[in-house]
Amino acid sequence: MNTLVRRFRPEQIRELFLVFLILVIVVFFSVQIEGYFNARFANRLSTSVVVVAILAVGQTLVFLTRNFDLSVGSIVGVTAYLVGQTLWHHPEIPPLGAVALAIGIGMLMGSINGLLVAYGRVPSIITTIATLAIYRSFLVEYSHAVPITTNNLPDWIVELPAGKLFAVGQVEFRVLFALLLLVVVVFQLVLNRLPFGRRLYAIGSNPDAARVAGFPAQRIVFTAFLLSGGLAGLAGFVFLSRFGNISVLAGVGLEFASIAAVVVGGVSNNGGSGTVFGAFLGALLIDLLENSLFRWQAISEFWRDAILGMLILLAVAIDHVVIGRLRIAWARAGLQMTTKEPDEQTEEVTHVG
Amino acid sequence: MSARESVLVPVWQRLKSWEGMLIVILAIVFLINSLIAPNYLTVGNQINLFILSIERIIVAVVMAFLIINGEIDLSAPSIMGLSACVTAFLFSQGVDFGTALLISMSIGLACGLFNGFWVAIVGLNSLVVTLSMLICYRGLARVFLEDRSIGKLPEWFNSLGQQKLLGPFPLALIIFFALLAFAVVVLHYSGFGRRVYVIGNNKDAARYSGVKVARVKMTLFIASGMVSALAGLLLAARLGAVRGDLASGFELDIVTMVLLGGVSIFGGSGSLYGVFLSIMIILNIRNGMSLANLSGHFQTGVIGLLLICSVLGPNLAGQVRASLNRRRRIRPLQGSQPNGPGLSQDTDQVLHASSSSE
């Protein structure tokens, strides 16, 4: 037991638990639904998870600093609309240019959030509830209720969701999913390896101590919001390519979807704990549940949301109980070790962050 | 002694100035509106502007309790939808009003109990619990009505929403003011209200000093569930038709009303007077802008802007004042002897005051 506990950090146990839950769901529905887990389902899942998972990565960065970003739903809508409109009038813009434009627009909106929260000292929930409304009303006024439709977009962006890098049998490794994996890996490395990432954890676990230690707290919180905005812009680009038809209501409700993913993924909203990979698993779990319940004939489609909400709660509750137990066991083991080998102590402490 | 005073005074001043600021904003809104629209100040319009969002403001009163307590109930609009859907469903099955009312109120009770169980007893985060229940209760509402809408509610039930009951006041408005008066007494003049604040300030300290934290939280969630169920019925009566997505998206409106009222999202501070003023401001702004033919999304944007400015303005003013004070106090220090702890304590206090405004 001790060696097992020593080998894993609580965050890793949490991620393993999520993987286990995902497997349980797959096995359960495989028994219930005939021909459930086929290549088409895997392909559909890998496309549908992208938007929320990218948002969840950005939300994780903000959550780590003890803040919220509720405005991402509107950022997605505004970015999708503006990029769609630009491509409509200038179809010659190359794909990378469109992505850069999307990220830029997102970062602009994210920087407004960041300025208000970090330098204006407005609580993040107030700021982002307000900017959620402001960005949305900007979109409504700006668009004059003219929707973007698939017909107006250049072909490459409409075909992008089906585009694949390579295929193993019928399971395709699609471009958008590759983009998502890239985002997850890059930000996981940033959090683990770069000083900026470690400082995000430090500020979230103890803002006062971080300030006393001389961290540029304001700049770090600002950067977290900036990155969250940029990722929401990227998600807006994916949203545009996936749906093609963008009305003024595009992206409504995505803020709650991303928060649900992050929370199921084990990122604490008290800051300072959680991983990008966990948030990705959370988004995958919820998306898998949604898609599976949709295909389950045993229940009417109207039961879907009711069961989904309940299952999200159950996932969090089980996690709370299991991880709580493990954390106690782990702390006890750590305590025993530190009394025996004082040198290990510092190493253990650095793992906590 | 002097230290305690200098800690207490800024808090008191801040509270006072917050509500003072809201009154000033409200006066400006009144003035502009009455200049723009001549029929703005009629009794009919003033009652009408309340009636148009009466369900939201009823729930906002209870939400203020929860946020002061350090929790939040995002599932309230879904409970509204659920109770309205169940009642409409029962009506369509020919159940009489008394039973339907009883059942829909017990649904509110059950939802509140369920939320409260996970938050108060298991100890999960209320944001997480009520966010997933926001999805779940909404889903249950859809189970009852699927994608139909029920429009044939009994005639007398529909008239509950609009019919004037007492002078020019319809039932829903009377319920709101009765609830508000009751809430003010409970929150500001009772032991229970003090416990709500104490828990919001510091949950652990409250528990160690013998406050039954779980019981208070449970009571608040049950109250929130039942009031939401009632508000759902009022909304159904006002609209005259019920659909599965009734009241969806109200959660942000309701939270905005409470936060603009000066209630801290971290719990422990704020007052119902502030919440009432912020409700008045939001309703009057919306009404004035509707009279000026501005769209609903635009109105929400303006209210968002107001929300940010109302926090940002005092913060910036406080920062400027703090830096001025610091400069004024530190300057005599240079050259002369460091004057013992008294002086440095004062500058500390200023620093604390500015950092507490985060």
Which B residues in the span 291-310 are in contact with A, Cβ-Cβ below 8 Å?
295, 297-305, 307-308
pLDDT digits (tens, 9 = 90+) for A301-351: 788 888 888 888 987 888 788 777 777 877 777 777 666 554 444 444 444
Nearest residue to A108 via CA among A153, A145, A71, A137: A71
3-state secondary structure A167-211: EECCEEEEHHHHHHHHHHHHHHHHHHHCHHHHHHHHHHHCHHHHH
Interface test with A, best of B250, B308, B320, B323 (most A CBs within 10 A): B308
B-chain residues near A137 (CB < 8 A): 297-302, 304
The pLDDT, as a whole number, for residue A94 is 92
What pLDDT is stored for residue B356 in this prediction?
Answer: 40
User: In this complex, which of A120, A136, A300 lies closest to B315 when CB atoms are compared?
Assistant: A120
Asked if B224 and B109 touch (Cβ cutoff 8 Å), the reply is: no
What is the count of residue pairs from A and B with beta carbons less than 8 Å apart?
A: 144
Is B342 inside any structural domain?
Answer: no
Q: To which residue do tokens 């599932």 refer?
A: B75
Test B139 with A309 for CB contact under 8 angstroms.
Answer: yes
- For residue A172, the distance in angstroms to the closest alpha carbon of chain B comes to 32
Distances (CA, A) of B228 to B158, B247, B262: 18, 10, 22
Contact B126, B72 (CB under 8 A): yes
Q: Give how far Cα A93 sits from Cα of A85, A117, A153, A161, B174, Å.
A: 12, 34, 11, 18, 60
Count of beta carbons in the 10 Å neighbourhood of residue A21: 20
Whether A308 sits inside 8 A of B307 (CB atoms) is no
Given a contact cutoff of 8 angstroms between Cβ atoms, the answer to whether A241 and A158 are in contact is yes
Does the beta-carbon distance from B266 to A123 stay under 8 Å? yes
Please tell me the predicted confidence (pLDDT) of residue A80.
96
Neighboring chain B residues of A305 at a CB cutoff of 8 Å: 135-136, 138-139, 142
Structure tokens at B274: 């502030």
> Which of B135, B140, B312 faces A120 most closely, judged by CB atoms?
B312
Q: How many CA atoms lie within 13 A of B341 on its CB side?
A: 2
Phi and psi, residue B228, nearest 5°: -65, -40
Distance CA A62, CA B302 (A): 25
Q: The complex's ipTM?
A: 0.81
pLDDT at residue B8 tops 70: no
The label of the residue with tokens 């319920």 reads B175
CA distance A164 to A181: 14
| Chain A nearest CA to B252, separation (Å) | 7
Residue A213 confidence (pLDDT)? 87
| B336-358 mean pLDDT | 40
- Quote the pLDDT of residue B16: 57
> Looking at residues B30-50, what average pLDDT do you find?
87
Domain count, chain B: 1
How much is the pLDDT for A350?
A: 44
- Chain A CB within 8 Å of residue B67 CB: no
**Among candidates B127, B138, B303 on the partner chain, residue whose Cβ is nearest the Cβ of A269:** B127
Task: Specify the pLDDT at position A343.
Answer: 47
Q: How far apart are CA A274 and CA A268, in angstroms?
A: 6
- Longest CA–CA span in chain B (Å) reads 88
Residue B213's identity, in one-letter code, is V
**Distance from A165 to chain B by nearest Cα, in Å?**
36
Residues 164-203 of A with CB under 8 A from B: none
Which residue, A49, A16, A43, A24, is CA-closest to A257?
A49
Alpha-carbon gap: A31 to the closest alpha carbon of chain B (Å): 25
Q: How far is B332 from chain A (nearest CA, A)?
A: 26
Can you tell me which residue has the tokens 């495989």? A30
pLDDT of residue B341: 39
The answer to whether residue A299 neighbours chain B at the CB level (below 8 Å) is no
* Residue labelled with tokens 């999960």: B124
Quick check: B142 and A305 CB within 8 A? Answer: yes
- B123 near A CB under 8 A: yes
Does B212 reside within a domain? yes
Given a cut of 70, the residues of chain A with pLDDT beneath it are 1-8, 10, 337-353
Of the two residues B139 and B329, the one the predictor is more confident about is B139
Q: Per-residue pLDDT for B158 more than 80?
A: no
Q: Over pLDDT 90: what percentage of chain B?
A: 41
Q: Does B133 touch chain A (CB under 8 A)?
A: yes
- Cβ B139–A126 below 8 Å, yes or no? no
B259·A125 Cβ contact <8 A: yes
When pLDDT is cut at 50, 70 and 90, the band that residue B14 belongs to is: low
Pairwise CB contact (< 8 Å): B142 & A126: no
Which residue on chain B is closest to A70 by alpha carbon? Answer: B252
Q: Evaluate the CA torsion angle B130, B217, B11, A67 in order and state its sign.
A: negative
Question: What is the CATH number assigned to the segment(s) A38-303?
Answer: 1.10.3470
Check whether B346 has a pLDDT greater than 50.
Answer: no
3-state DSSP of chain A: CHHHHHHCCHHHHHHHHHHHHHHHHHHHHHHHCCCCCCHHHHHHHHHHCHHHHHHHHHHHHHHHCCCCCCCHHHHHHHHHHHHHHHHHHCCCCCHHHHHHHHHHHHHHHHHHHHHHHHHCCCCHHHHHHHHHHHHHHHHHHHHCCCCECHHHCCHHHHHHHHCEEEEECCEEEEHHHHHHHHHHHHHHHHHHHCHHHHHHHHHHHCHHHHHHCCCCHHHHHHHHHHHHHHHHHHHHHHHHHHHCCECCCCCCCHHHHHHHHHHHCCCCCCCCCCCHHHHHHHHHHHHHHHHHHHHCCCCCHHHHHHHHHHHHHHHHHHHHHHHHHHHHHHHHHHHHHHHHCHHHHHHHHHHHC
| Out of A116, A122, A306, closest to residue B143 by CB | A306
Q: Which pLDDT does position A301 carry in this prediction? A: 76
The pLDDT tens digits for B103-118 are 999 999 999 999 999 9
Please count the other Cβ atoms lying within 10 Å of the Cβ belonging to residue B108. Answer: 26
Of the listed ranges A47-51, A137-141, B48-52, B67-71, the one predicted with least confidence = B48-52
Check CB contact under 8 Å for A120 and B131: no
Q: Where residue B91 falls among pLDDT bands split at 50, 70, 90?
A: confident
A-chain residues within 8 Å CB-CB of B124? 313, 316-317, 320
SS3 assignment for chain B: CHHHHHHHHHHHHHHHHHHHHHHHHHHHHHHHHHHHCCCCCCHHHHHHHHHCCHHHHHHHHHHHHHHHCCCCCCCHHHHHHHHHHHHHHHHHCCCCHHHHHHHHHHHHHHHHHHHHHHHHHHCCCHHHHHHHHHHHHHHHHHHHHCCCEECCCCHHHHHHHHCEEECCEEHHHHHHHHHHHHHHHHHHHCHHHHHHHHHHHCHHHHHHCCCCHHHHHHHHHHHHHHHHHHHHHHHHHHHCCEECCCCCCHHHHHHHHHHHCCCCCCCCCCCHHHHHHHHHHHHHHHHHHHHCCCCHHHHHHHHHHHHHHHHHHHHHHHHHHHHHHHHHHHHHHCCCCCCHHHHHHHHHHHHHHHHCCC
Question: For B141-153, what is each residue's pLDDT tens digit?
Answer: 988 888 788 887 7
Using a CB-CB cut-off of 8 Å, the residues of chain B touching A78 are none
Say whether pTM exceeds 0.90: no
| Mutation target among B74, B135, B203, B352 for the A interface, most CBs of A within 10 A | B135
Going by C-alpha positions, the residue among A31, A64, A81 that lies closest to residue A271 is A64
Please give the residue that has the higher pLDDT: either B182 or A321: B182
Let me know: does A304 contact A278? Beta carbons within 8 Å. no
Pairing of strands B164-166, A171-174: unpaired
How far, CA to CA in Å, does B33 sit from each of A51, A136, A201, B284, B299? 43, 25, 48, 8, 14
Q: Which residue of A has its CA nearest to B244?
A: A302
Choose among A122, A138, A313: nearest Cβ to B133.
A313
Name the token pair of B190: 């009772």
Q: Is A137 on the interface with B (CB under 8 A)?
A: yes
Give every CB contact of residue B104 below 8 A, 6+ residues apart in sequence. B83, B84, B86, B87, B90, B229, B232, B233
Specify the pLDDT at position B10: 55
- Show the domain range for B155: 49-249+260-272
Looking at residue B315, its pLDDT comes to: 81
Interface test with chain A among B264, B297, B299, by most A beta carbons within 10 Å: B297
pLDDT at residue A7, as a whole number: 64
Query: A113 with A243: CB under 8 angstroms?
Result: no
- The minimum CA-CA distance between A170 and chain B, rounded to whole Å, is 34
Give pLDDT, residue B339.
Answer: 41
Phi-psi domain of A274 (left: phi exceeds 0; alpha: psi -120 through 50; beta: other): left
Residue with the larger pLDDT of the pair B238 and A346? B238
- Length, in residues, of chain B: 358
> Is the predicted pLDDT of residue B1 greater than 60, yes or no?
no
Q: Identify all chain B residues contacting A262, using CB atoms and an 8 Å cutoff.
A: none
